[in-house]
Structures are given as structure tokens and as C-alpha cells.
Amino acid sequence: MSDVYGAVIAEHFRRPHNLGSLESPDAVHEELNPLCGDRIRIELKLDVGRVVAARFRGDACMVAVAATSLLTGMVVGLSLDEAAQFPEERLLAALETTLRPLRMQCARLPLQALRGALDGAIDR
Amino acid sequence: MEEIYPQLEALGRSERRVAMATLVGTKGTTPKKEGAKMWVGEGGHVLGSVTIGGCVDARVIEESEGVLQSGAPRRLKMALGDEDAWEIGLSCGGTVEVLVERLELGGDAPVLALYRRIAAEVDQNRAACLVRLLREPDRALLVLANGDCEGSLGEEALDHAARSQAAALLLRGTSRTERLGTNDPAATSGEGPEAFFEVHSPRPHLVLIGAGHVSMPLTELAKTLGFRITVVDARPRFATRERFPRADELRIGIPSEIVEQIPLVASTAVVLTVHDYKVEVPVLRAVLKSAVGYVGMLGNRHRGRGVLEVLRKEGVAETQLARVHVPVGLDIGAQTAAEIATSILAEVIAVRSGKSGTSLAEAAKADRVPASPAASHRGERAPG
């Protein structure tokens, strides 16, 4: 499987980082790709306007799991605004591969989940 | 067994009283096991069966009429097969004992209340055991899975013994007649009066991972077979009531998380029809940690090997991987979704029964003996 997507995606799919749940998360959002069934939930712990912890749970394809694994590591320490505007290009670069257009939505799924979680937190 | 209350309730709408026949004892090969029921209404309605039709059921119907008139219960001991059948070798070979008793089916009849209570327990996924003295079937003790009791057999010592013996049978999930112990609290059987322990177990649970086209006929067929059915999918467009009108439960979310929340016990079968590794791998990872009785996965050998290899590399033990039936189902040449569903359910039943799923006729040929009684039941009308 690593031949198709590269070593980073393969490694993060096999051993995802930040997998699991947070006790009493401050922000939670689940995002679904309604056609293929990829489903990712991101949980955040926030403190003084910053993301202090992130975890995820989901049954999703290699690209989506790897992207979520990376993203939940990269947003810790960011302000809510910085996290909400996390650049898609930065996440795609971290995957260290070139995705076909059809698979771009897989990588975007965790960003949508993150923004959904932060929308709720910022609204509060 | 779980259909008893609905059937009694239905009979109560058209019949004032019925004769209830309960199979309380079997020896040798018999088509039904202890606990099977048949009702014969005063107005002529017949529901259920204590064999598979034929001479024994006919005799029960005949005796029921006498019981309905007199009100006195009767115990019938019968060989399966009449004299002519014995003569030409068509008998089933077993003997059965049937208790026939009269039940009043008024609005608040005690028996209806009792079976309503049992049905409520079973609906909550809990087993219950109804204990009745064969000499006085009106005396009843209901023993619940948590050890609580309702009713009485008339003597504290009998209740105590019945409770202890019922606990053992609840664990085994089998109904049977036993003599009650009277003095020894640890006794599993004794020298006291005979009692029938009627065990009502929760329906077997079928958990379908994937709300695709194979799961639809699987739900329909499994419902007919008495399964409680949960359909799990991440996609709300697929797991809809319109597509699964007979499913007991539709669960939408992260499938591997949902299966962790479902009690996966020996009577549970999990079938993955989703045909997608991103669900299969995490769901199998979760399911194989449980004591689930059956796990099957739709897919050819190549796909199956691939998915199992991912789990193997994660460190899942070979003994656990060997539990996964992939390709799923018995080899009956299934092509359509309904045929595939039939093949899957046949395998689920075979595994539950500890059988191989071989053709009974072929097995009989291999044994070089005439077809087994069970096979003759399927293929022929019972004599009489």
C-alpha cells in the first residue's frame, strides 16, 4: 500500500498519532464523506484561546486517516483563529505525496472536521 | 420461544380458552426440542407445533379437545411414527413427552401476564426461566437471569431448589424436565417432584456492518429466522428505514466505535458486507477481541487474505484471524444478493450448531447408512 501513496501516508495509516478520545473535550465535530463513508471525529481541548490537545477517531481511507493523524499533531499550540484557518497546502505538503484530484477530498475531510469543531467553540 | 407471548395474545383475540401443549421431554432423534409449543383453541385455531406435523401433532390436537372440556392437564408419551411407519422403517426413532393443559385467555389471564413478563425480559436481551411442576402446572416460579424470582411452586424448599437448577439451565440456554432437589441447596437435580424448566433466551443477534444491497435480503431472511438485527453504516443515505424496514436497529456513525458498544457474545453473529478495508480492518480489530460466536466477511479469497494480513502485521493472533469466515457463506453457488444472504445465514446457523454445513444426503451416503431422521423429516411427510 505504501507504493501507491508513499511512506508518510502508509506509516500514519498503520500507526496513527493522536488516535482516541479526550476526557471532557471542549470542541467536537464529526465529518462524513456521504458517498464513500469516510467518517472522522475530531476532539479538541482548548485553553486560553489555544488548542492544547487534539484526538481523533474514525473509520476512513488511508489518505484521510494519515491526514487526520498529521493535522491533529500540527494544530496543538495554535490559536483558535490560526487553527480554523489552517492552510490546506500545509497539510497536503505534510503528506509528502501528490494526490489525484479524486482523493483530495479525503485529505480535506479532517480540515472540515477541525473547522466544524472550532466553529462551535468560537460561537460559544 | 420468544414468539409465545405474541401468539398467545393473538389467540386471545379470537379464543376464550386454549389447550397449550408443551414438549417437556424427548428421547432419541426428535425434530423439535423441549420447550416447543402448540396451541389448540376451543374455536378450532391451531398454532405452533411440537413436532413437524404428522401423527404426533394430530394426537395432541385430539387430546387437546379432551383437556379443553375437562380442564385437567394430561401428559402424553408418544413414539414418533405410527405402527405402519415402524413396519416399513419410516419412523423418526425418538419419543416425546407432551404436557397438555387448559389456559383461560381473558384480558388479565395470569398466563398472559406471565408470558408478557418473559417477553419484556427477552426484549431487554435478558434470559428468563419459567419453572412449573408437571403434576400441578398452575404453580409457577419465574427465575430471572439476575437471580430474582417471581411466583412460587408452593413450598420454600422447592422454590430454592428450582432457583438453583434454573440458574444452571439459564447458562446453558436449554429447556428440560428435571426432578427438583428438596434439601441440598447446592443440588443440581434431586429426588423431588418433576418440574419443567422452560428457558427463554434472548433472540440471537445479527450485526450487519454495511447497509448495502446484500444486507437488505440478509435482514429479511434473518428476521424470519428469529434474529434481532442491527444494521451499522457510516452513511445515513444507506442505513435508512426505507431500505431496512425490518431491522430492529439502525446505527449510523463510526462502525468500529459502534461495534465496541454492542454486546458481542456467543449468540451474536457479525457479518461485514461493507466490502471496504477502511471499515473492515478496524471493525475486525474490535470484533476479534470479543467472544462473538460468528464473524464473516464478504469478499473473495484474495481480498480476505489482504485484510487479514493487515491485522496479522498489527499482531493479531492467528487463532483470532482463523475465526473470520472469508469468503463468507456456504458454497451453494449463490449469485444474487438474496442467494448470497441465504448462503451466509446457512453458515451462521451451521457454526452455531457446530455443524459443517454438508448436504445431509451426502453425509448419509458417506456413512453408508440410510438418510438420517432429520433428513427424512425435511424430505418426506411424517407418517400418520
pLDDT tens string B252-292: 999 999 999 999 988 899 999 999 999 999 999 999 999 89
ipTM metric: 0.89
pLDDT the model gives residue B288:
97
Q: What pLDDT band is residue A5 in, cutting at 50, 70 and 90?
A: confident
Contact B235 A32 (CB under 8 A): yes
| pLDDT-above-90 percentage for chain B | 57
In the numeric block, which cell numbers belong to residue B328? 463468507
DSSP code of residue B188 = S
Mean pLDDT of chain A: 93
Kindly state the average pLDDT of the residues B89-115. 78
A9-44: pLDDT as tens digits:
999 999 999 999 999 999 999 999 998 999 999 999
Which site among A59, A65, A69 would you substitute to test the B interface, given the most B Cβ atoms closer than 10 Å to its Cβ? A59
Alpha-carbon distance of B137 to B196, in angstroms, equals: 9
Nearest to B237 among A34, A38, A41 (CB): A34
In the numeric block, which cell numbers belong to residue B53? 406435523
pLDDT the model gives residue B67:
93
Alpha-carbon distance of B360 to B380, in angstroms, equals: 14
Kindly state the average pLDDT of the residues B316-335. 96
Phi, psi values for residue B148, rounded to 5°:
-65, 150
pLDDT the model gives residue B376:
47
B288-297: pLDDT as tens digits:
999 899 999 9
Provide the shortest C-alpha distance from residue A58 to chain B (in Å).
6
Helix H or strand E segment including B272 = strand B268-272
pLDDT exceeds cutoff 50 at A59: yes
Kindly state the average pLDDT of the residues B155-173. 90
Alpha-carbon distance of B178 to B171, in angstroms, equals: 16
Chain A residues near residue B255 by CB distance under 8 angstroms: 59
Chain A residues near residue B282 by CB distance under 8 angstroms: 59
Contact A39 B283 (CB under 8 A): no
Q: What pLDDT band is residue B339 in, cutting at 50, 70 and 90?
A: very high
Interface of B with A in 278-297 (CB under 8 A): 278-279, 282-283
Q: Is B45 on the interface with A (CB under 8 A)?
A: no
Alpha-carbon distance of B23 to B37, in angstroms, equals: 6
Q: Is B233 on the interface with A (CB under 8 A)?
A: yes
- Pairing type for strands B324-325 and B294-297 reads parallel
Q: Which of B99-108, B121-130, B362-371 has the lowest mean pLDDT?
A: B362-371
CA distance readout (Å), B239 to B3, B210, B211, B257: 27, 8, 5, 16
**Sign of the four-CA dihedral A58, A63, A66, A72:** negative
DSSP code of residue A79 = B
Q: Which of B365, B364, B384 is nearest to B374 (CA)?
A: B364
Provide the shortest C-alpha distance from residue B281 to chain A (in Å).
9
Q: Is B261 on the interface with A (CB under 8 A)?
A: no
pLDDT the model gives residue B159:
94
pLDDT exceeds cutoff 50 at B382: no
- Beginning with the edge strand found earlier in the chain, give each strand of the sheet holding B228-233 in spatial order: B249-252, B228-233, B205-209, B268-272, B294-297, B324-325
pLDDT exceeds cutoff 70 at B373: no
**Cβ–Cβ < 8 Å for B137, B109:** no
pLDDT exceeds cutoff 50 at B40: yes
pLDDT exceeds cutoff 70 at A2: no
Measured at the CA of B296, the angle between CA B292 and CA B301, to 5 degrees, comes to 145
Q: Which of B131, B124, B61 is nearest to B98 (CA)?
A: B61
Alpha-carbon distance of B168 to B73, in angstroms, equals: 28
B256: nearest CA partner in chain A: A59
Contact B254 A41 (CB under 8 A): yes
pLDDT the model gives residue B122:
87
3-class state of residue B75 by DSSP = strand
3-class state of residue A59 by DSSP = strand
Query: Taking the model in full, what pTM does it have?
Result: 0.76
Chain A residues near residue B235 by CB distance under 8 angstroms: 32, 34-35, 37
Chain B residues near residue A36 by CB distance under 8 angstroms: 276
Interface of B with A in 299-328 (CB under 8 A): 313-314
